Amino acid sequence: MKQSGLGTAANPQSVVILGSGCAGLTAAIYAARGNLKPLLIDGHEAGGQLSLTTDVENFPGFPEGIQGPELIEKMRRQAARFGTEYLHGEAVGADLSRRPFRLTINPHREIFTRTLIIATGASARMLGLASEKRLLGHGVSTCATCDGFFFRGREIIVVGGGDSAMEEANFLTKFADKVTIVHRRDTFRASKIMRDRTLKNPKISIAWDTVVEEVLGADVVKAIRVKNLRTGKLSEIKVEGLFIAIGHHPNTKIFEGQIELDKAGYIVTHGNSKTSVPGVFAAGDCQDHVYRQAVTAAGSGCTAAMDAERFLEAEEH
Ligand code: NAP
């Protein structure tokens, strides 16, 4: 819940953070320790992508690995300990043309802030098929962690050739009898360790040079029509699940026309976390399409909070 009378046009917050993933929560820890009393707005996917993942093996400090949701929960508690305030809701509008900046939050509310840290992350990309959309939640999924359990003893397809596809496919073999990875090329983009793990997994087979043409089924997924790009041959694979793991797009729509975005919609940052609007900072996957790791998101969250703090200090003196 929101406290205090802060956040009005007359009495704006010092800093509002949009997004509750690794970047947003790290920004909150730093801003709170800097005594800025940050308000963090959760966003439509609380906890961000880490909350949808299982084993995190590469976050420093956890030699045995840690579950994504547990890591997020620890960060949340750490930020709360120093006075971060949380608001459940999603920013659906922003006016960054004058200060204090005005944010429209759903459920309906307006919040004013002197500085803004955007850590809205990125969301799963879809194939763009009408049938995929229709059967989303009825056999089509973008989250193995969330839905894998429902496919115990079934056969499924994972689309993609990056680390996400490898991770999802391997995870899904805990439940499914057989997982087929459908990839549009003849080599994986994924890192060597993930590739090797996948190729060694006896429950996983690969359909190389293949794309999904259609998801078949009236109410639930019954089969997938695929096309081999080398031969042009169409075939149907009988499966009950389709997991799409083909990357992400940045959640920056409400900032279009207000701050500089690149062609793919990622926020352009100038010198660490600064955006094209003074007082607006960006961190994590909404501004990083290269590294996209939990640890780099955390690092950029720290940078954004320090930049916001310095910005406010400079303004006060
Ligand atoms: P990614 O690396 O961008 O890979 C996306 C994959 O999907 C690529 O193989 C791409 O094919 C394919 N693809 C894209 N659009 C497609 C379409 N319309 N139809 C069919 N296939 C399509 O995305 P990601 O796997 O989500 O990984 C993103 C970042 O997170 C990477 O930096 C990755 O290292 C990191 N990550 C790390 C871990 C880990 O370390 N445990 C786990 C997950 C993700 P092409 O190869 O032909 O382009």
- At position 25, the amino acid (one-letter code) is L
End-to-end CA distance of the chain: 32
Q: pLDDT for 126-169, tens place per residue?
A: 999 999 999 988 999 988 877 888 899 999 999 999 999 999 99
d(CA 13, CA 38): 7
Nearest-CA residue for ligand 1 atom 2 is 162
Helices (H) and strands (E) in the chain, counts: 7, 19
pLDDT in tens, 213-250: 999 999 999 999 999 999 999 999 999 999 999 988 99
> What are the tens digits of pLDDT across the range 98-127?
999 999 999 879 999 999 999 999 988 999
143 in active site: yes
Tokens representing residue 209 in the block: 């040079």
| Contact by Cβ (8 Å): 84, 216 | no
CA-nearest residue, atom 7 of ligand 1? 246
**13-123+249-316 and 126-244 share one CATH topology?**
yes
302 is catalytic: no
Does the Cβ of 38 fall within 6 Å of ligand 1? no
Residue 77, amino acid: R
178 to 33, 99, 137, 157, 206: CA distances (angstroms) = 49, 55, 20, 9, 11
Helix (H) or strand (E) holding 182: strand 178-182
Give pLDDT, residue 234. 98
Residue 164 CA, ligand 1 centroid: distance in Å: 6
* Catalytic, out of 22, 42, 55, 146: 146
**Residue 168: CB within 6 Å of ligand 1?**
no
What pLDDT, in 10s, does the model give residues 3-33?
A: 567 899 999 999 999 999 999 999 999 999 9
- Best mutation site among 54, 127, 164, 212 for ligand 1 pocket (most ligand atoms within 8 Å of CB): 164
Which CATH number applies to 126-244: 3.40.1670.10, 3.50.50.60, 3.40.50.10860, 3.30.930.10? 3.50.50.60
- Least confident window among 15-19, 204-208, 248-252, 268-272: 268-272
In the prediction, which pLDDT does 4 show? 60
- 292 in contact with ligand 1, CB cutoff 6 A: yes
Q: 97 or 290: whose pLDDT is higher?
A: 97
Task: Please identify, in words, the CATH class of the domain defined by 13-123+249-316.
Answer: alpha beta
What string of DSSP letters covers 75-107? Answer: HHHHHHHTT-EEE-SEEEEEE-SSSSEEEEEET
Q: Is 189 in the pocket of ligand 1 (CB under 6 A)?
A: yes
Domain map (residue ranges) of the chain: 13-123+249-316, 126-244
Give the C-alpha separation, 308 to 277, whole Å.
12
